[in-house]
């Protein structure tokens, strides 16, 4: 696929968990696209649905949601699934909508078909190091897993060579000696390097990295950012970088999607989003990160006032009416409380979900 072609297209994607309180609307009518060679950042406060979106893109969400309903043995959860097929799409648990990847509709595929794609064409570096690596297998063995699963004719000797090559590329210290050890002997930063190597080894088109730096201290975060920058510059791969930290996204993303209460509120060029955000939530987010304030000042902007967004994110089982951000928004007017704003393309490839788009200017 030539650079600039659409690699991933997401259309009206919904992913709802069943829960005893009602449906958790974790991904709510999300549409976006990632092009070949692009690095996209997904930004939003904790609990807004970023990891759930990653699971839905990988075709893993439905399994988690159904397993949960089955395992809980809670009649309310099971009822939500049973009633689901007849209910309108906005009231159904599980995944609705479309994910198209390299022309293939992933949301229509069976789990067997998806296994062929996961780890080979799209790979996920999951959030949280603790559960990502199996404590009982050596890191060499785990790094080789994607080739072992997807390449029938892979020879043991070639697999070892490739494992050492990729562990070397992510600069894992003494990889040639330590690849036989289990994950317990590796620090958090080293485990993250192993996960990055594992995500790349089968030559995917898209790597989804879910909060790759958040469990790490500042020095190690910096080192992992350098590895991710090397991946961006040297590998022919598109990336979806998920973080609640705008500073992390600002360093690596070409385009940014800002998520709130399961919905994308603004999506556009990184430069535009950081320097001239259009949505009040994006404005609020950008004003709460010192790294973004510094970046704006360096680019010639005036010294911004640092402040957080008032109030708390909503309960996704009981969303506010109209625009879900309205109870926290300084620009809220009557219509915001009753009507959900549409997700509009206000300029080419710039989408905003706000009734007052164009009227509000960043302070
Ligand atoms: N298995 C689950 N069952 C029910 N609700 C869930 C489940 N997993 C997540 N949620 C809820 O779905 C919402 C979105 O969660 P998600 O993990 O996708 O958010 P996130 O943006 O990735 O947050 P963070 O930045 O903390 O990682 C939250 O309200 C969360 O409590
Ligand atoms: S629609 Fe209204 S409440 Fe929502 S972000 Fe825009 S101005 Fe604020
Ligand atoms: Mg998450």
Distance between first and last Cα of the chain: 42
- Is the CB–ligand 1 distance for residue 48 below 6 Å? yes
Would the pLDDT of 99 be above 90? yes
- Is the CB–ligand 1 distance for residue 30 below 6 Å? no
Rounded to 10 deg, the angle between the 218-234 and 188-200 helix axes is 10
In whole angstroms, give the CA distance from residue 25 to residue 286.
25
Instruction: Give the Cβ contact number of residue 352 at 10 Å.
Output: 24
In whole angstroms, give the CA distance from residue 355 to residue 363.
19
Locate 35 and state its tokens: 């092009």
**232-254: per-residue pLDDT in tens?**
999 989 999 999 999 999 999 99
Strand pairing class (39-43; 255-260): parallel
Element (H, E) at 222: helix 218-234
Which CATH number fits the domain 6-253, given the four candidates 3.40.50.300, 3.40.1360.10, 3.60.21.10, 3.30.70.1520? 3.40.50.300
Locate 88 and state its tokens: 């309108």
- Is the CB–ligand 2 distance for residue 326 below 6 Å? yes
**CA 235 to centroid of ligand 3, rounded, Å:** 25
- Is the CB–ligand 2 distance for residue 327 below 6 Å? no
Would the pLDDT of 290 be above 90? no
Count of alpha carbons within 13 angstroms of residue 250, beta-carbon side:
18
In whole angstroms, give the CA distance from residue 140 to residue 40.
29
Q: Would you state the pLDDT for residue 288? A: 87
**CA 141 to centroid of ligand 1, rounded, Å:** 31
In whole angstroms, give the CA distance from residue 237 to residue 357.
34
In whole angstroms, give the CA distance from residue 176 to residue 141.
13
pLDDT band at 296 (very low <50, low <70, confident <90, very high): confident
Average pLDDT, the chain: 91
**CA 285 to centroid of ligand 2, rounded, Å:** 14
**36-77: per-residue pLDDT in tens?**
999 999 999 999 999 999 999 999 998 887 777 676 777 777
Query: Is residue 211 a contact partner of residue 244, using CB atoms and an 8 Å limit?
Result: yes
In whole angstroms, give the CA distance from residue 7 to residue 100.
8
**159-201: per-residue pLDDT in tens?**
899 999 999 999 999 999 999 999 999 999 999 999 999 999 9
- Is the CB–ligand 2 distance for residue 323 below 6 Å? yes
Q: How far does Cα 164 stand from its chain's mean position?
A: 28
Locate 49 and state its tokens: 């649905």
| Number of the ligand closest to the Cα of 43 | 1
- Is the CB–ligand 1 distance for residue 259 below 6 Å? no
- Is the CB–ligand 1 distance for residue 52 below 6 Å? yes
What residues contact residue 356 under an 8 Å CB cut-off, 6+ apart? 280, 331, 333, 336
**CA 141 to centroid of ligand 3, rounded, Å:** 27
In whole angstroms, give the CA distance from residue 157 to residue 136.
22
Locate 185 and state its tokens: 């002997």
What residues contact residue 53 under an 8 Å CB cut-off, 6+ apart? 13, 15, 26, 27, 30, 42, 259
Mutate to test the pocket of ligand 1, among 47, 248, 263, 314 (most ligand atoms within 8 A of CB): 47
Query: Is residue 122 a contact partner of residue 55, using CB atoms and an 8 Å limit?
Result: no
In whole angstroms, give the CA distance from residue 13 to residue 346.
21
Q: Would you state the pLDDT for residue 125? A: 94
In whole angstroms, give the CA distance from residue 209 to residue 219.
19
- The label of the residue with tokens 């089955």 reads 70
Q: Give strand pairing partners of 260.
A: 263
């Amino acid at each position: 696929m030539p650079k600039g072609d659409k690699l991933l297209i997401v259309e009206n994607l919904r992913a709802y968990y069943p829960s005893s309180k009602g449906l958790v609307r974790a991904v709510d009518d999300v549409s976006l696209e990632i092009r070949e060679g692009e690095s996209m950042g997904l930004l939003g406060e904790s609990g807004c649905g970023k990891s759930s979106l990653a699971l839905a893109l990988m075709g893993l969400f439905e399994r988690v949601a159904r397993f949960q309903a089955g395992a809980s043995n809670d009649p309310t959860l099971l009822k939500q699934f049973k009633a689901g097929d007849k209910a309108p799409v906005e009231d159904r648990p599980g995944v609705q909508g479309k994910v198209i990847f390299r022309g293939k509709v992933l949301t229509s595929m069976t789990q067997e078909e998806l296994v062929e794609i996961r780890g080979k064409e799209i790979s996920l570096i999951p959030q949280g190091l603790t559960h990502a690596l199996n404590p009982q297998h050596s890191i060499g063995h785990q790094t080789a897993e994607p080739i072992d699963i997807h390449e029938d004719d892979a020879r043991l000797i070639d697999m070892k060579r490739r494992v050492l090559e990729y562990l070397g590329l992510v600069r894992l210290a003494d990889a040639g000696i330590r690849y036989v050890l289990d994950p317990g002997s590796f620090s958090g930063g080293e485990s993250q390097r192993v996960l990055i190597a594992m995500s790349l080894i089968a030559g995917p088109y898209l790597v989804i990295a879910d909060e790759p730096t958040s469990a790490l201290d500042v020095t190690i975060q910096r080192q992992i950012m350098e590895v991710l920058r090397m991946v961006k510059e040297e590998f022919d791969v598109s990336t979806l970088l998920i973080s609640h930290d705008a500073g992390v996204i600002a360093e690596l993303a070409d385009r940014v999607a800002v998520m709130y209460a399961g919905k994308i509120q603004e999506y556009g060029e990184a430069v535009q989003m950081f320097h001239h955000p259009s949505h009040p939530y994006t404005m609020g987010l950008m004003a709460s990160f010192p790294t973004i304030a510094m970046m704006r000042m360096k680019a010639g902007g005036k010294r911004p006032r640092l402040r957080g967004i008032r109030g708390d994110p909503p309960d996704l089982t009981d969303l506010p009416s109209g625009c879900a951000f309205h109870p926290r928004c300084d620009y809220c007017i009557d219509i915001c409380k009753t009507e959900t704003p549409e997700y509009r393309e206000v300029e080419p490839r710039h989408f905003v979900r706000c009734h007052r788009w164009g009227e509000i200017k960043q302070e």
